[in-house]
Chain A
Amino acid sequence: MNQREFTDIELVIKSKTGDTAAFRDLVNTYKDVSLTLACSILKDTSLAEDAVQTAFIKVFEKLKTFRQDSKFSTWLYRIVINTAYNLQKQQKIHMQIDVLSDSIFEANEKSETRVLTEEDQKKYINLALERIKSDEALILRLFYLYDHSILEIKKITGFSKSKIKVDLHRGRKNMERQLQKLLGNEITQLL
């Protein structure tokens, strides 16, 4: 996140009075994190963008009910995650994604060994995350990418501590398995 002129709370207070410029700043600050979290659940960037847009509209409408007893980001992520899970239920995309992903990766498994660029690495890591369960991908990202504690993840997702710990462990294993499938020996370039 960049150095900002106003804090979240200041921007929230301004937005509550209908200041759309302040809300724009909040959107710019949290759009990428929100998209990444939504994509962990939905496994599709354009669907995730739709979910994040819907979530931000909900946030703007419900801003007056935000009582500032928790961090704005925690409240926002909770709304983003709930919206994404609801959309996932509507779309029932889980199985389609699994089938689609499997066919994409067969070709990659047989490809020759090559040096992976930063861009390639990012692509394969995200593909591996797409192939694991939504809950696992979401918890992995919240914990390792955004450095949230287990307690914070509990607040954001509503999952129990034990589920979070189990999903962290399983998620790491499953992600490694998927990367192994995708990259074969090239996985050593990532680790």
Chain B
Amino acid sequence: MNEDQAKKLLKKSELQATDHFTDSLMKQIEADVEARVQATVPSIKKVSLTIVAVVLPLFLLLFFKTFTFLPRLEFLGYAHRTKLFVVAVFSVLLAVNHLFKLHYSAKQLVKNER
């Protein structure tokens, strides 16, 4: 078989997609787009940064202030610093864990919607 014969034969070898191909594909893509709009998954990076931005000043406040300016919170200034630190760290870890869980379930939701 020479080049021309091969070309002549192969020109007859194109396949056609089924009639509903485009419709079913576009339905899937449009559902994806809609699901993504509905389940706006918060960026884990942004939320983590926000937590750090809020928690860090709080920690500093907790350690270096005696809260004399806020009589109701004055007891914090006299509390055991190590215990306070453990409680604070534990709370932050819980919050981050909760965040990861939320992020994962939101992603699953989007995946299942496809």
- CB contacts (< 8 Å) of A18 on chain B: these are 33
Judged by a CB distance under 8 angstroms, whether B108 is at the interface is: no
Is the Cβ of A141 less than 8 Å from the Cβ of B10? Answer: yes
Please pick, from A23, A52, A140, A175, the residue contacting B17 in the complex, using a CB distance under 8 A. Answer: A52
Chain A 17-53 interface 0/1 with B at a Cβ cutoff of 8 Å (1 = within): 0101001100110011101100100000100110011
- CB contacts (< 8 Å) of A53 on chain B: these are 21, 24-25, 28
Please pick, from A24, A48, A191, the residue contacting B22 in the complex, using a CB distance under 8 A. Answer: A24
Chain A-chain B contacts (Cβ-Cβ < 8 Å), number: 87
Segment touching A, from B1-9, B41-49, B68-76, B81-89: B1-9
Judged by a CB distance under 8 angstroms, whether A145 is at the interface is: yes
Q: Considering only CB atoms, which chain B residue lies closest to A33 in the complex? A: B14
Beyond A31-B21, A49-B18, A173-B1, whether A60 also contacts B12 by CB under 8 A is no
Q: Considering only CB atoms, which chain B residue lies closest to A52 in the complex? A: B17
Judged by a CB distance under 8 angstroms, whether A122 is at the interface is: yes
Judged by a CB distance under 8 angstroms, whether A129 is at the interface is: yes
The number of chain A residues touching the other chain, given as a range, is 35 or more
Measured CA separation A53–B22 after assembly (Å): 9
Distance in Å from the Cβ of A180 to the closest Cβ of chain B?
10
Please pick, from A23, A33, A141, A144, the residue contacting B29 in the complex, using a CB distance under 8 A. Answer: A23
- CB contacts (< 8 Å) of B28 on chain A: these are 53, 57
Judged by a CB distance under 8 angstroms, whether B16 is at the interface is: yes
Is the Cβ of A125 less than 8 Å from the Cβ of B12? Answer: yes
Please pick, from A36, A140, A190, the residue contacting B14 in the complex, using a CB distance under 8 A. Answer: A36
Is the Cβ of B22 less than 8 Å from the Cβ of A27? Answer: yes
Measured CA separation A146–B57 after assembly (Å): 64
The number of chain B residues touching the other chain, given as a range, is 20 to 34
- CB contacts (< 8 Å) of A126 on chain B: these are 13, 15
Is the Cβ of A49 less than 8 Å from the Cβ of B21? Answer: yes
- CB contacts (< 8 Å) of A61 on chain B: these are 32
Measured CA separation A48–B15 after assembly (Å): 11
Judged by a CB distance under 8 angstroms, whether B113 is at the interface is: no
Measured CA separation A61–B33 after assembly (Å): 10
- CB contacts (< 8 Å) of A91 on chain B: these are none
Measured CA separation A32–B26 after assembly (Å): 16
Chain A 175-191 interface 0/1 with B at a Cβ cutoff of 8 Å (1 = within): 11001000000000011
Within 8 A of B (CB), among A57-97: 57, 60-61
Known: A49-B18, A60-B29. 5 other contacts (CB 8 A): A20-B26, A27-B22, A57-B29, A125-B12, A175-B6
**Sample (27) of A-B pairs whose CB atoms are under 8 Å apart:** A24-B26, A27-B25, A31-B17, A32-B14, A32-B15, A32-B17, A35-B16, A36-B14, A48-B15, A49-B17, A52-B17, A52-B21, A53-B21, A53-B25, A53-B28, A56-B25, A125-B9, A125-B12, A126-B15, A129-B13, A140-B10, A141-B10, A145-B11, A172-B1, A175-B1, A175-B9, A179-B9
